[in-house]
Amino acid sequence: MEQHIPGLIVALYTDEDVMSDLAPALRRRGYQAQSTVEAGNDAFSDEGQLTYAAESGMAILTHNIRDFVPLARTWFLANREHSVIILSEQLNHNQFGELLRRVLRLLNRWTADDLRNRVLFLQQFK
């Protein structure tokens, strides 16, 4: 039996701006993923979304670059920990496959420990 080693697998939480099909697609491929809607958090503020992700030990993926960059800075200055904030430009539904490929490249390249408290732009995984 394979032993799970904490800190190796990145669990992903997607905010309300990310295509709702992404979390189920990742789960079908064996990853831990949850959307804002699945968590019942669609009324949460950006701060609330990040807090939920951090407390759940999950990375957060968002298209809301404008609000999450300053939020990441605020958390950094307050010494608040999070798993990772992943920022992505908005992709349309015809680009779902591209979004999934980029996320999979990230998840297959980094461990949760590698990413802790970082801010990444998903476009670097094109």
2 pLDDT above the threshold of 70? no
> Model confidence at 27, in pLDDT bands (50, 70, 90)?
very high
Contact status, residue 121 vs residue 87, Cβ threshold 8 Å: yes
Is 58 among the domain residues? yes
Output DSSP code: residue 9: S
Q: Which one, of 88, 97, 86, lies nearest residue 10 by Cα?
A: 86
Q: What percent of the chain has pLDDT over 90?
A: 84
The structural domain count of the chain equals: 1
Asked if residue 3 belongs to a domain, the reply is: no
100, part of any domain: yes
Those residues whose C-beta lies under 8 Å from the C-beta of residue 9, and which sit 6 or more positions away, are: 31, 32, 111, 112
Domain that includes residue 90, residue range? 12-125
Angle separating helix axes 65-77 and 46-55, nearest 10 degrees: 60
Task: Give mean pLDDT, residues 15-36.
Answer: 95
Specify the pLDDT at position 92.
87
**pLDDT exceeds cutoff 90 at 86:** yes
Mapping DSSP to helix (H, G, I), strand (E, B) and coil, where does residue 86 land?
strand
18 in any annotated domain: yes
Q: State pTM to two decimals.
A: 0.91
Q: Is the pLDDT of residue 1 over 60?
A: no
Residue 5 lies in a domain: no
pLDDT of 126 higher than 80: yes
Measured between alpha carbons, how far is 37 from 11 in angstroms, rounded to an integer? 16
User: Rounded CA gap, 110 and 106, in Å?
Assistant: 6
Question: Does residue 46 surpass a pLDDT of 50?
Answer: yes
**Is 2 a member of any domain?**
no
In a domain, 121, yes or no: yes
6 falls within a domain: no
